[in-house]
Chains A and B, each alone.
Chain A
């Protein structure tokens, strides 16, 4: 019964047929059989009944076939193809569908992939024009299959599981999903509060529902594709609107302010003139409206201009901070296009208001509605609305730019703001703020996007979120690599180790710094960079990094509907390697978990994703994903020094399995063991630190993710202001874990640190004193870290470290 109805696409054009299938596959990935019988060859238009008959045979696995055709002879040929089928039973299982080809195919694919019978698939497809017709105001043909539900529509209900309810991002996901649905009008209401029904395409309306975690939301859908729409909405809801949920990191907006005072966003002290970042709100001029048509035109011209600005900010953010961070801009874009907001503003214009006045009032009504929501987190989203509203007003009436980008230059300034909204393009902060050592709250993210707080562009004012570690206590960074060429030799039984052949260069020491030329400091400490994109890699090289100590490969996997294939990964890694110009790249294999589900990698909902299926555990559950990544890594490793690092390793078996997968990839590539390939693990799990000796025979390096190790060791999340002070990497308990790793590694494996602590000069000294020989930080922090390393005295560092291990707390450690 799991057999799906097959589909056959008949078109005059092979390109058209194949493109239509590609489009449909996006909506219905998986095993659905879709055969194409189109064109006489690649370039000759025409249809071929024999080919159609063969396609029908290929698509039919017993549940029958629905055939979709373009025009003219496609229909005749398809009919003739039925005559050509030898088996009358097979013929009876074929349904020729009168649907328009593209729309019909997409609906048919979605319906068939859902397991529907062929009659239903054909009927749904035949009604596929409904959405377009409704949109364009044409009479809607309701397909026969839908007649029953066309009247009352389909209803369903889901419970909001997102910790902050349906706030801007999940609401934006829902609104964009609904807007993309053809043939369905979706409305929702908050059943818990008994709200009115609002169109789900309206982001403003959705957010104003005040749907909090645990609230029940009722969904009502009419239209020919109602059933599919309901399923799509419920599917999205069950994925928590693609938002991380729960986990130790869920920020608690209502949490009491930390008793420790503000959290440092970056190490160091900065002194500089105060720079107020609050943009002067543009004033709505008290001007009379010109005529409504002109005002309408003015408004309509401003919106796309602002949308373009936001898209630029979005792209910049996506590039620098990642897709997840950039998603908030999608919400802003949706606001610009919000049907409720726009129609409110436009009707005010029609009634004689000026464009700025109409827009400002309409936006303020939306902001006020959000503010009225009881949840403080949601209420704070009003700031998003006002920020976007200001941007539009600015476009309408002019006004000061968000943050003066004029002066500043290299001068350090202290940014003071109550709210850093994403509407402020990161570049304006970037250009005006020096990031190397300023403690200004906003700049930390630029130094280490994955670790920092909101980051410039992002939702600044979010309480509790100042350190964005919140959402994923950044499982961090790090890498490994051993100095010079010690390699090969030791190694006990077990798996063959690829590394080995490294440079026989030279045993020892040789200054530990394989990096061309940089002085790592007297004790021979490499300073690497944590990067999350090829652009970061360029920045890393510019900052003088000796290597990439952590390449977060998630950038290739997030925000898309299918995993990158081997070639794409290879190209991306190659790009990173090229930016490093021959310096080592430490590639961490995919490190995601239930907090960041990928559309193509369904993960069970977990109560606590940070203690769940993630990192190497996830890779074991999806061996194909790991195999592809390792193959891409091996290919690149044949040309550039590359280290492979497995994240979240808690058990030796996990490492051994991962190394087998690596051996398989090496064998598959068939060129032998890449000469510069090294293998290591992240140490984030306290148990792993304590049993590091067991791993030593199987690794070239350990890379300690101090952020996660600290959080796991102290059971305190850095994003939670109530307990963040506990999560101090200088806690003697954490330092003892680092010490355990260094002692187990001895001379046999390199120990690196890729957490934020690496960028803190005091921590760096202690880490080096314990035996860490590589520090990897965000690219902007590289020069400072190098300087710190150069200045430290090995003997003194070792003494301090020894004292720190027996201190009674982080405060005492700092006083040593």
Chain B
């Protein structure tokens, strides 16, 4: 994390980078979702994040908390699928954790991230191993907390991104127990989870922009 800490401008970069990554991977997300879901994850996330970026362009939100809240609310209203309330909750809980702080240090950012992930759990009632976005987010926040002790911010976020990617990959052999994929039962085994995939992109975007 930048020496000066994470401010609204940095969060703005993070979210834009996430949006760019989602757009870039839209086809892949859709492909993954068509295997075990309803093939709308890529389109839904792209639509939601385009709306988020449009809001950022408006520049109405000032300060980290307001920016995160605006992002969460926009996702809630525009994604449509389950990732709407889940990612929306993630950002809204982050916003609550941030409060009206102007600049976050590494620990504060990590705490906010954890609050967001806990929100996802509360909303989706997912547990580790259910083959969901939580399987990418949980190892990421754990890795971030662990790394913050020794490594610099950039290193810590890279470790988190690596953990998210590993968590994402680990969903492939899992059997889905949440969401529409769970209807497939054993047939969901062997496919990488699209939610975990987009979640890994979120963490990677953080490593790319906040480190």
Contacts and interface: CB of A to CB of B under 8 A. Distances in A.
Interface string B85-96: 110110010000
B44 interface: yes
Given A73-B80, A76-B124, A46 B85 contact: no
B81 interface: yes
Contacts of A49: 76-77, 84-85, 88
Contacts of B73: 50
A44 B123 contact: no
A690 interface: no
A79 B81 contact: no
A51 interface: yes
A73 B84 contact: yes
A44 B179 CA distance: 20
Nearest to B43: A44
A12 to B, nearest CB: 8
Nearest to A72: B82
A73 B123 contact: no
B206 interface: no
A40 B88 contact: no
Contacts of B89: 80, 83
Interface string A41-73: 000111111110000000000000000000011
B209 interface: no
A533 to B, nearest CB: 48
A84 B78 CA distance: 16
A457 to B, nearest CB: 53
Contacts of A72: 81-82, 179-180
Contact of A40 (B78, B92, B179, B180): B78
Interface in B77-123: 77-86, 88-89, 92, 123
Nearest to B86: A76
A780 B44 CA distance: 67
Contacts of A84: 76
B85 A77 contact: yes
A706 B180 CA distance: 71
A72 B181 CA distance: 11
Contact of A48 (B40, B80, B123, B179): B80
Interface in B158-210: 179-180
Contacts of A48: 76-78, 80, 84
Contacts of A45: 40, 80
B123 A79 contact: yes
B71 to A, nearest CB: 13
B128 to A, nearest CB: 19
Contacts, number: 58
The range of chain A's interface size is 10 to 19
A49 B78 CA distance: 9
Contacts of B79: 46
A47 B123 contact: no
Contact of A79 (B40, B85, B92): B85
A73 B77 contact: no
A11 to B, nearest CB: 12
B80 A46 contact: yes
Q: Main SS of chain A's interface residues? A: helix
Contact of B44 (A46, A50, A79, A80): A46
A613 to B, nearest CB: 52
Interface string B40-60: 100010000000000000000
A84 B72 CA distance: 11
A544 to B, nearest CB: 64
A284 B178 CA distance: 62
A46 B123 contact: no
Contacts of B124: 76
A12 B123 CA distance: 18
Nearest to B37: A72
A690 B139 CA distance: 97
B80 A50 contact: no
B84 A46 contact: yes
Interface string B20-38: 0000000000000000000
Given A50-B73, A72-B180, A80 B85 contact: yes
Interface string A15-58: 00000000000000000000000001000111111110000000
A108 B204 CA distance: 47
Interface in A437-490: none
A171 B78 CA distance: 53
B80 A47 contact: yes
A77 B179 CA distance: 13
A100 to B, nearest CB: 16
A77 B180 contact: no
A47 B180 contact: no
Contacts of B86: 76
B77 A44 contact: no
Interface in A727-762: none
B33 to A, nearest CB: 13
A76 B44 contact: no
B123 A80 contact: yes
Contacts of A44: 80
A48 B88 CA distance: 10
A335 to B, nearest CB: 44
Contacts of A76: 82, 84-86, 123-124
A78 to B, nearest CB: 9
Contacts of B123: 76, 79-80
Contacts of A12: 80
B81 A46 contact: yes
A80 B76 contact: yes
A743 B83 CA distance: 83
B82 to A, nearest CB: 4
Contacts of A46: 44, 79-81, 84
A809 B123 CA distance: 89
Nearest to B82: A73
B76 A73 contact: no
Most buried by B among A12, A72, A80: A80
A153 to B, nearest CB: 37
A44 B44 CA distance: 10
Contacts of B83: 73
B76 A50 contact: yes
A129 B86 CA distance: 29
A93 B180 CA distance: 30
A781 B205 CA distance: 88
Contacts of A79: 85, 123
Interface in A674-707: none
Interface in B122-150: 123-124
A50 B77 CA distance: 6
A46 B89 CA distance: 16
B82 A40 contact: no
B188 to A, nearest CB: 15
A420 B85 CA distance: 67
Interface in A62-104: 72-73, 76-77, 79-80, 83-84
Nearest to A48: B77
B26 to A, nearest CB: 16
Nearest to A76: B85
User: Quick one: which of B73, B86, B88 has the most chain A CB within 10 A?
Assistant: B88
A72 B88 CA distance: 15
Contacts of A77: 76, 84-85
A14 to B, nearest CB: 12
A709 to B, nearest CB: 67
Given A47-B85, A50-B77, A83-B89, 9 more contacts: A40-B77, A45-B80, A46-B81, A46-B84, A72-B180, A73-B83, A73-B84, A76-B82, A80-B89
20 contacts: A44-B80, A45-B80, A47-B80, A47-B84, A47-B85, A48-B78, A49-B76, A49-B85, A50-B73, A72-B179, A72-B180, A73-B83, A73-B85, A76-B86, A76-B123, A76-B124, A77-B76, A77-B85, A79-B123, A80-B76
Interface of A: 12, 40, 44-51, 72-73, 76-77, 79-80, 83-84
Interface of B: 40, 44, 73, 76-86, 88-89, 92, 123-124, 179-180
| Top 4 A-B residue pairs of the complex, sorted by shortest distance between their CB atoms | A46-B80, A73-B82, A76-B85, A80-B85
